Structure 1
Amino acid sequence: MNVFSTELIGMVAGIMTTSAFLPQVYQIIKTRNVTSISLVMYVIFTTGAALWTVYGLINLQLPVILANGITASLALIILILKVKWGRLSLSDQSSTIVS
């Protein structure tokens, strides 16, 4: 397999795994409901994606840099919203969802 094919596979995989976070971000922003989001999981995941981005930068691997950089950013948005909106009481969240 040539270098172009390998890079293309990496780019397609990166697009697919990164875009998988978009519906979650949209749903959280729309409903402001973060009760089912695991704070520990997103801390670990965001840190891992950030480290993969650093790895890609060190090794000059564009698919790794782009996919993990964008994924880390989306996961960080979810993490921030979890911390921000996770402090709301259940009644506050219910009234926000209905609004």
Structure 2
Amino acid sequence: MEAMTYVGLVAGILTTISFLPQAIQTWQTKSTKDISLAMFLSFCLGVILWIIYGFYTNNIPVLAANSATFLLAFSILVCKLKYG
């Protein structure tokens, strides 16, 4: 694996785990009143596009990081829609 692939993987890991505190807090408190619905909708759409890009360019770091990020961000979005 090339050095830049490792850079991409580390960047993906860091940006993905940045969603963990918000996801955990949202799951525990079921409070989403201070979360922007528009932001999470547009973010999830952008992440889906990154996943498509990663798939078609065979870019494993982009594909892996954005797939994991989507799971976390989408779970927050679902909570936002469910709990308001």
Name the TM-score, length of structure 2 as normaliser. Answer: 0.97
Q: Over aligned residue pairs, what C-alpha RMSD do you find?
A: 0.8
Q: CA deviation at 1:73?
A: 1.4
| Structure 2 SS opposite 1:17 | helix
In structure 2, the residue matched to 1:84 is: 82
Which has more radius of gyration? 1
Q: CA shift at 1:12, angstroms?
A: 0.2
Name the CA distance, whole Å, in 2 between partners of 1:76 and 1:15.
Answer: 17
Normalised by the length of structure 1, the TM-score is 0.83
Structure number with the bigger relative contact order (C-alpha 8 A, sep ≥ 6) is 2
Give the percent of matched residue pairs that are identical in Structure 1 and Structure 2.
42
CA–CA separation in structure 2 for the residues paired with 1:31 and 1:81: 10
Figure out how many residues of one structure are paired with residues of the other and give that number: 84
